[in-house]
Chains A and B, each alone.
Chain A
């Protein structure tokens, strides 16, 4: 029982990062039917910003806001330069565009900085452990969960009370209708990219503080997790993305501690099988926000 609770705490800590990313992925899917595989590159830019500033001895307190801002800026830039031009293209084109941007980003960091990793020292606070009864609680897990909860609450409030939120919800609920009704698509989409970038920047900060290293391809792995989380939760559904992210984080920890070690290498495969089955059994269920095509 102690194990279960301990694993749950660990899993929620990791899962909150996934969830923050997944909400962004899901939001972008909602407003433009894009599964954005370039989203992970927002973490990479944050990491290099951290490396650059930390190696000049700048305080973490100053570094983190700049890293988050860099993710927001890059996200909006990607939208402006690339996705705006293919906004009404097929999901196929959008997906490939996002891959092209991802590869471009990797190549740019390799050419611009180096293929070899750049390192910075992770601060001790990110690893602090507090013993609470029988549990070892990591301070950073608590911070991660708290920050994520605050972000989700902020997102919920934003969606309910602002014009932008209303537009995002309208677009997510009926993509075509929103387009027909003349929601100012450019502004909504640009705003969604900024917002998703903000969440990615925050997720990145939580993750990067521990990681201690920047390298060109680092964004790919967490983004993959986020996409999986968003799919589990139903692409386009923001609460679903939160649930998906947290459950993925928890599931990983439980797999890790319960599966025999020779099966561990296949845990990702198990997740993929589950996803494939989900898609086969209920494709429309996973995309429940995607209403029937208008005839």
Chain B
């Protein structure tokens, strides 16, 4: 479980909690490198009992592992499926081949190549370095396009790229030799280079995961929308992951063609991408350990089925020659894993994190934080940004007026309630404030600053939020949920004093649960975790969307105290949305009542409770 902990920030203003995170990264790095060595040693042992073809198998496995880890860096950390990375590897590998194939062979294979290529004959190592540079450049260009989109669109763009690379390779015969392949690439002998390549890939993948960018990317993977609301911009981490992954796959591609001695358009094909993805997905794409295990599993399985398919004398029985047995194994194992364990055989398991937990035993994994008690939480200075106000804010969905020219004002340091029956437009209003929905009219101001643009910009400007239907980062630990936002605060909200991850967890009553995956928390704890996460951004205003939804009245009452404590501790104003009049009047300094998208009334809790229009709206609509 890489990066599930980020503990022991003693100084609240140093939010990156680097010591613990670094230790974990180190543990993961060492453990995965050792695992790699174990796999390698196993392979060597197997090879020592057989023909030299087994040496090739070990090399093949290591080189494929580099490719798998390249995909892991991007797909595993961003959750976006890319088909294009082997296209990048292909461009890099062709670059390497064109620079390194001996001139006398090029005179035969591609005599009409442009740009003086037939005369060039670089040392393979130099050619490889140039090729990786080219791969990074291609990854950057493609990434600029692909990382801007998300989900299926990114997948389809990368798929199109892969297809284009192949077609160009097939059709630019003067340059690539077309489908006839380009051979005589200087070959690497032995296995040491493959081991070095794999070790580099493991190192890059582990370090990327625990880097700032890696953690932000993982947050976007877990929940893109919530990440945006927490000030995490999706594009940059995704682009960087794309490029780093591109560099690793290019390394893999360059090594691969040097181990094979030839390259053709069909070598880094769509089908080969599926093979590499199968290795990644079967093992578990989220961790480096999963990538290693999956690569070994598929490689071994295909090798065994290939042996059986050749009709061996085996177990005292002459097996028939079967064509396509390894394919059957590949498809079968991929399908079975997807249907029964979609997160892969290992899921979130990382050898380093697991060993570290074992070594530390059952002692509180966050010893430091348990030392922090609630009493010690001194409030940070209140925000001085000014009021959060809307001016005639409204939005229409295809003729339906969801929010109708709402003008309201939340004063700094106060708790302001927004109430209304179901369907009154409360959540839409919050979405307008935070930028998830674009208004058709009106403005939002935070102090003097007009808020517009993407949600992450508004979050960085000082408003963070929770969600009505919970949106924690499910696979991340409770601590990392908060810590990753603290990371953002450190970068973009440093003018405000932070409370610190540990104290936020203590405030939320989650210190003891800090290392658990957020998805395993119960409902109330997830609610408090969301509030702690939003508070970690050091906002000027905290927007709470139905924090008591689904809670009993006792729990609601508890939530009142909790929200007050948090608001005081972080010095933020609060806008709380609810349909529970009791909760709202209990907690708020002022209340705005929304009905059918428009402001019905505004005032203190007492005024609101007495307002006949409010009473009518509530009783009339059958209080939700």
Contacts and interface: CB of A to CB of B under 8 A. Distances in A.
Q: Are any A and B Cβ atoms less than 8 Å apart in their complex?
A: yes
Interface of A: 33, 35, 82, 85-86, 89-93, 95-97, 99-104, 106-108, 110-111, 114-115, 231, 235, 265-266, 268-269, 272-273, 275-276, 279-280, 283, 286-287, 292-295
Interface in B286-340: 322-325, 327-328, 330-332, 334-335, 338-340
Most chain A beta-carbon contacts within 10 A, residue among B81, B167, B339: B339
Contacts of A90: 79
Interface stretch (B149-157, B440-448, B599-607): B149-157
Interface of B: 79, 81, 145, 148-157, 160-161, 163-164, 167-168, 170-171, 225, 271, 274, 277-278, 281, 322-325, 327-328, 330-332, 334-335, 338-340, 342, 427, 431, 436-437, 467-469, 545
18 contacts: A85-B340, A91-B155, A92-B81, A97-B339, A100-B335, A102-B331, A107-B327, A107-B331, A111-B325, A111-B328, A231-B156, A269-B168, A272-B163, A272-B164, A275-B157, A276-B145, A283-B153, A295-B545
B170 to A, nearest CB: 7
A279 B342 contact: no
B149 A268 contact: no
A167 to B, nearest CB: 22
Contact of A279 (B157, B170, B323, B340): B157
A89 B81 CA distance: 14
B161 A265 contact: no
Nearest to A284: B153
A97 B325 CA distance: 19
Given A103-B330, A287-B152, A93 B342 contact: yes
Contacts of B152: 33, 35, 91, 95, 235, 287
B155 A111 contact: no
A110 B334 contact: no
A97 B324 contact: no
Contacts of B148: 280
A99 B149 contact: no
A96 B153 contact: no
B469 A89 contact: no
A82 B322 CA distance: 26
A295 B431 contact: yes
B342 A266 contact: no
B339 A86 contact: yes
B324 A86 contact: no
A100 B342 CA distance: 13
Given A97-B335, A111-B322, 20 more contacts: A89-B342, A90-B79, A95-B152, A99-B274, A103-B327, A104-B331, A106-B324, A106-B327, A110-B323, A110-B324, A110-B327, A275-B156, A275-B160, A276-B157, A276-B160, A283-B150, A286-B153, A292-B437, A294-B469, A295-B469
Contact of B149 (A92, A283, A293): A283
Lowest 5 A-B CB distances belong to which pairs?
A: A104-B331, A110-B324, A103-B331, A272-B160, A107-B327
B338 A279 contact: no
Given A85-B339, A92-B81, A115-B323, A280 B149 contact: yes
Contact of A295 (B171, B331, B427): B427
A295 B229 CA distance: 11
Contact of B163 (A85, A104, A111, A268): A268
A28 to B, nearest CB: 13
A97 B328 CA distance: 14
B589 to A, nearest CB: 26
A104 B153 contact: no
Given A91-B152, A276-B160, A295 B467 contact: yes
B81 A295 contact: no
Contacts of A102: 331
Contacts of B324: 106-107, 110-111, 115
B157 A82 contact: no
Nearest to B339: A85
A269 B167 contact: yes
Contacts of B161: 272, 276
Contact of B277 (A96, A266, A276, A295): A96
Most chain A beta-carbon contacts within 10 A, residue among B278, B331, B467: B331
A86 B342 contact: yes
A246 to B, nearest CB: 21
B297 to A, nearest CB: 15
A258 B402 CA distance: 52
Contacts of B327: 103, 106-107, 110
A115 B163 CA distance: 25
A275 B274 CA distance: 21
B314 to A, nearest CB: 18
Contacts of A111: 322-325, 328
A104 B467 contact: no
Given A86-B338, A108-B328, A279-B157, A266 B168 contact: yes
A287 B151 CA distance: 11
Contacts of A85: 339-340
Nearest to A94: B338
A295 B427 CA distance: 8
Nearest to B167: A269
Nearest to B324: A110
Contacts of A96: 81, 277-278, 281, 334, 338
Given A110-B324, A111-B323, A265-B170, A295 B338 contact: no
Nearest to A279: B153
A35 B156 CA distance: 10
A265 B225 contact: no
Contact of A104 (B145, B164, B328, B427): B328
B338 A97 contact: yes
A119 to B, nearest CB: 19
B315 to A, nearest CB: 20
Contacts of B334: 96, 99-100, 103
A47 to B, nearest CB: 18
B335 A82 contact: yes
A114 B335 CA distance: 23
Given A96-B338, A97-B338, A273 B225 contact: no
Nearest to B431: A295
A283 to B, nearest CB: 4
A232 to B, nearest CB: 11
Given A96-B281, A295-B469, A280 B157 contact: yes
B171 A266 contact: yes
Nearest to A81: B339
B168 A295 contact: no
Nearest to B165: A269
A92 B274 contact: no
Most chain A beta-carbon contacts within 10 A, residue among B149, B271, B324, B325: B324
Contacts of B153: 279-280, 283, 286-287
A85 B274 CA distance: 21
Contacts of A91: 81, 151-152, 155
Contacts of B277: 96
Nearest to B225: A293
B534 to A, nearest CB: 14
A97 B334 CA distance: 8
A119 B261 CA distance: 38
A100 B156 CA distance: 18
A74 to B, nearest CB: 15
B347 to A, nearest CB: 13
